[in-house]
Structure 1
Amino acid sequence: MNAQDGISPEIAEIDRIVARARKAQAAFEAGASQSLYDKAALAAGWAIMEPTRNRALAEVAVETTGLGNVPDKITKNHRKTLGLLRDIASVKTQGIISDDPAVGITEIARPIGVIGAVVPSTNPAATPANNIINALKGGNSIVVAPSPKGVASCELLVGYIHAEFDKLGLDCDLVQMIAAPGSKAKTQRLMDTVDRVICTGSQNNVQRAQSCGTPAVAVGAGNVTVIVDETADLQDAAAKIAASKCFDNATSCSSENALVVVDAVYNAFVAAMATEGGVLVPSSETDGIIARLWPDGHLNRSVIAQDADKMLDALGMAGKVPEGTKFLAVETDGIGSDHPLSGEKLSRVLALYRAADFDDAREIATRILAHQGAGHSVGIHTNDDARAIGMGRDLPTCRVIVNQAHTFATGGSFTNGMPFSLSMGCGSWGGNSIDTNLHWRHFVQTTKIVRETPPREPGLDEIFGAYWSEVGQ
C-alpha cells in the first residue's frame, strides 16, 4: 500500500491514467470543433483499417487469444469500422445540433467526459476500435480495459492510433488502455472513476459494470435461435446460415446457436445444408457430442472458435464426416440447464430442433430464449413477413432478423438499416438499459436551452372528451 494515500500501487496506476484522460479530454473539448472530433475519429478508423495494420491486428488476435481466424478478423475489422464511419460521417456531435423555434428549445451536444470501455477477447481489435471511434466523435477521452488474452491486440491498436494522432498533433492521452497485468481490481477502479462505462463481454463483467455506481451501458448475452419455415428459400437459407455460423469460427454473439426447422421441410433443409458444408449429427450421437463439447461441465477450449478441422478432431468426428465439412448440426429436443446444446456454444456447432409447424417452432424459440439469450435477437427464413412481425410482437427479443445471415445483419450491414456495432443492447429482457445497437448517441449528452413560448394548455374537454363520451364522468 502507498503509505501516503492508503491505496495500492495498481489502484494508483488507474488513478494516474484517468487523471491524464481527464486533462486530455478537457483540452480536446476546450478546442472543440466538429472538424476536430471528426478527424480524431477518422484517425482511429484508419489506424485499424490500413491494410498492413489490419492484418497485423488480426494475426496477433488469433495468435494470442486462440479464437477465430485471420481472414475473417481482417474482414470484420474492415467492414465494422467502415460501416461505423459511414454511419457517423454526417452526424453532428458538437455545438448546436437542433433548434426548434416552435417549442423554444435549442439543443447543444456535450461530451460525457472520460469513457471506460471493458472489451472482450473475441473481438480484441474491432470492439475497442468501435468504442474509441464513437468516444472521439463525441469529444470524449477513453480508457480501454481489455481481457487478459486481448491485451496484445489492444496494445497494438492503441499504438497505431497514437501514430495517427501524432500526425494531427492530438494528445495521445485521449486514448489509453490498462496495460498488463490486468486485474479485477484495476477494472473495478476504472469503472468507479470514469464518467460512463461501456461494457461488452462476460456477464460477470456486465453485472459489475451495472452495479459500479457509474452510469453504464452494458449488453446482454447472445444465444441466437433461427427458424426455417415451410415458405423459406431453403438453399438461400442454408447458404446464409453456413456463412454466418462459420464466420470467424463463431466468435460473434450473433452467430446462430440453434436452428428450428418445421417438419414439412426438415429433410429438404438438411439436404440443402449438406451442400453448404453442414453435417447432420443424429440424435443417437448427441450424447457423445455433448460429452466432448463439455468434458468437465465447461466448454472445451479445443472446440471454442476453432477451424473446422480442429473442431472435428476435438469432437471425435474427424474421418466420420465428409471432406469439406464446415459445421455440425446436432439433433436435439432438450431445452434448459440440463441440456447444454440449447445454450451458447461459441463454436461451429448448432443445435437442430424439428418443429411440427410454425407455431411449434415459435414455441421452441421462445423456450430457448427463456433459457438463454433473451433480448438479443432471433432470426427467421420465410416468405411470410407477417410471421416476422408476429415474432417481434410476441417474443422477448429486440431484433428479428429476416432472411439474412445473422452474424452479418445483427450488428449492422450495408444491406440493412441497423447501426454498425459489435455490442447489442438487449432491453429489459436481457437486463440492459438499451434495446438498440450501441452507437454514437450513447457517447454524447446534451444541454437544452429552454425559452418561454405562447401557452398551449388544453381544456379538459379536449383531453377527456372521447373518454367521457364512452364511460361518462
Structure 2
Amino acid sequence: MTAIDPLVDLDHVIVRSRAAQARYEAEGSQARYDRAAQAVAWAIMEPTRNRALAELAVETTGLGNVNDKIIKNHRKTLGLMRDIKDAVTWGVISDDAATGITEIARPMGVVGAIVPSTNPAATPANNIINAVKCGNSIVVAPSPKGVPSCQALLGYIHTEFAKIGEDPDLVQMVPPPGSKDKTHALMQGCDKIVCTGSQNNVHRAQTAGTPAVAVGAGNATVIIDETADLAAAAEKIRASKCFDNATSCSSENAVVVVDAVLEAFVEAMAGAGGAVVEDEAAIVAAMWPDGHLSRQVIAQDADRMISALGLDGKVPEGTEYIAVRIEGIGPGHPLSGEKLSRVLALYCAPDFDAAVETTRAIQRHQGAGHSVGLHSSDDSRAMILARAIPTSRVIVNQPHTFAVGGSFTNGMPFSLSMGCGSWGGNTTHENLHWRHYLQSTRIVREIPPREPSLEDIFAGYWEEAGK
C-alpha cells in the first residue's frame, strides 16, 4: 500500500493560493483591497463571533481569559483598520517630478504566516488584514493548539467573502494536523514569511531561503524611579501584567525600583493587587518543576497560578499577580527571563544609573531589542534609556502591554508582532505593519543633472583639515 505524502495537501493549498493571488492582483483595485480587509476585520470583530473565538481559544489552548481576548480581538483589529484606512496599496504610491521617479505598489505574492497559540485569532487576523490590504494571498500555519481557532476564524472570513464575492482561496491555512515539516514546506513555498511566536520558528523562518520578517523574544523590564507617580505606575503595571493572563510578549517581566521609593512602591503594588514574595528558590522550583515552565502557571488566572505556586494562604486574598524579589540575572535565575505568567521579578537599585545597568543586563540576557519601560516625571531619562539599552522601544508612563503594540493614546502602529532589530536577530526593529506586506516598482525618468562640485562637498572639511 502506497503511503500518502502529508505534504501533498499543502502543495495544493499553495497552488490555489498562488492562482488566487495572481487573479487578485490582475483584477485589483484599491476599493477591492480595502473591502477585503474590511471583510476580514468584521469576521473577527462581529460581537458574537468575537466571543466564540475568544471562548474557543481559551478552551483549546488553555491560555489567557475570555474577556480579555474579546477586548484584544476587538481593539487590535479596530486599531489596525484605523492605521490602514487611508494607506495606498494599489496603483501609484508617489509621483515626484523633481526626482523623475514614480512608485507603484506591488504585492509580495503568497504570504506564509506562522502564528502562536497565545493569540490564535488576533494574530492571524492581523496578518490576513495586512496581506489582503496589500494585494496578497495568505496561508496561515497555526500552532497545534491554535488550529481550532484558526479554522473557525477562516470560516468566518469565508462567510464574509461570500457576501462580497471575494475569492476564499485568498485566505487559507495549512491542512491539519500541523507539523514542523508542513510549516517548513510553507516557508519554502511562499513568497514572504511573516513569523510570530517561538524563537525556534523564528530561526527556521530566517534560514528557510525565503524573504522573512520575524520577531524576537520579549522580556520587558520597567524602571520605577524616585520621581514616579507610584500609585499610577502600580495600577498601570497591574492592568498590563494581568491582561489576558500575561500572554503578551509585551507584558512586564521585571521591575527595577530605585531604593528611595522601594518601600512606598511595594505598598502601592499591594494596593493594586500585587503581592511581594521573598522565596525565589521556591517559586523557581514550582514554576520549572522539570526544567520546563509549568503549564499550571503559564497564562493562568490568578487563583490557579497561586495554587500551583504553593501560595494559597500565603498571599493576601484578592492577589492578582506576584512580584518575586530577586538579585541575580541570567540562566541560573530563570525569573530574570520571560515568564508568560502573572509573575514579576522585582529588583532594587541604589539610584537611576544603577537601575539602567540592571535593565541593560536583563535585556542582554533575554529580550534584547524588544522594549523597556520607564515610570518617571523626568522626561530626560527616557533619552538616557534610549541610548543605553539595546531596545527598539522605550515606553514612558504607560501600561507596557497596551502601549507597545499600538494604542489609541500613542503613535505606535497596532500590531501583535514586534521586530527587535539586530539586537534580537531580526531584519526589522519596527512593529510589523502593512508596509511589510508590500513592495514597489519604480519608474525612473531622466532629469536635469544635479552633480555637485568638489567645493560643495568638501569646503568645510578642507577648512578644518586641509586638502
TM-score (norm 1): 0.98
Aligned partner of 1:345 among 339, 349, 371: 339
> 2:311 — aligned with what?
317
- The equivalent of 1:211 in structure 2 is 207
Tell me if the contact between 1:293 and 1:300 (Cα under 8 Å) persists in the aligned partners: yes
Maintained 8 Å contact 2:297/2:341: yes
Q: Tell me which residue corresponds to 2:440.
A: 446
Q: Tell me what 1:155 maps to.
A: 151
| Counterpart residue identity of residue 93, structure 1 | T
Deviations 1:190-230 (A, max 9, x none): 00010000000100000000000000000000000000000
Q: Which residue of 2 aligns with 1:372?
A: 366
- Number of the residue aligned with 1:292: 286
> Paired residue for 1:385?
379
- Preserved CA contact (<8 Å) 2:9 2:175: no
Work out whether residues 128 and 138 of structure 2, in 8 Å CA contact, stay in contact via their aligned partners in 1: yes
> How far off its partner does 1:51 sit?
0.2
**For residues 333 and 470 of structure 1, what CA distance do their matches in structure 2 show?**
51
> Among residues 213, 219, 224, which one is paired with 2:220 in the alignment?
224
- Structure 1 residue 2 displacement after superposition: 7.5
Structure 1 residue aligned with 2:267? 271
Deviation at 1:15, TM superposition (A): 1.1
The match for 2:107 is 111
Equivalent residue letter for 2:27 = G
Aligned to 2:391: 397
* AA at the equivalent of 1:192: Q
Partner residue of 2:414 out of 416, 420, 428: 420
| Identical amino acids, percent of aligned pairs | 70
1: CA distance between counterparts of 2:94 and 2:383? 33
- Please list the CA deviations of residues 130-178 of structure 1 after superposition, one character each: whole Å capped at 9, or x if unmatched: 0000000000000000000000000000000000000011110000001
Counterpart residue identity of residue 39, structure 2: A
Shift of 1:14: 1.4
* Bigger mean CA offset, 289-298 vs 148-157: 289-298
Segments ≥4 residues shifted beyond 4 Å:
none
In structure 2, the residue matched to 1:166 is 162
The verdict on how the C-alpha distance between 1:89 and 1:327 changes in structure 2, with shifts beyond 3 A counting, is same
1:336-358 CA distance string (max 9 Å, x none): 01110100000000000010100
Give the distance between the partners of 1:286 and 1:13, measured in 2 at CA: 49
Q: Give the match for residue 233 of structure 2.
A: 237
Q: Secondary structure at the match of 1:330?
A: strand
Aligned match of 2:463: 469
Unaligned runs of 5+ in 1: none
Question: Are residue 120 (structure 1) and residue 108 (structure 2) matched?
Answer: no
Secondary structure at the counterpart of residue 9 of structure 1: coil
Partner in structure 1 of residue 190 of structure 2:
194
Q: 2:20: which partner in 1?
A: 24
Alpha carbons 1:2, 1:9 under 8 Å: kept: no
Q: Which residue of 74, 78, 93 corresponds with 2:74? A: 78
Q: Which amino acid aligns with 1:12?
A: V
Matched with 1:250 is: 246
Distance 1:122 1:12, change over 3 A: same
For residue 468 of structure 1, report the CA deviation from its aligned partner: 1.1
Q: Distance in 2 between matches of 1:55 and 1:444?
A: 32
Report the AA paired with residue 281 of structure 2: D
Number of equivalenced pairs? 467
After superposition, residues 16-95 of structure 1 pair within 5 angstroms as 16-95=12-91
Q: Which blocks of at least 5 consecutive residues in structure 2 are unaligned?
A: none
Contact 2:257 2:355 in 1 (8 A): yes
Is the partner of 1:10 in helix, strand or coil?
A: coil
Counterpart amino acid of 1:120?
P
1:262 and 2:264 matched: no
User: How far, CA to CA, are the matches of 1:10 and 1:108 in structure 2?
Assistant: 39
Deviations, residues 33-75 of structure 1 (Å, cap 9, x unaligned) = 1000000000000000000000000000000000000000000
Structure 1 residue matching 2:68: 3-state secondary structure: helix
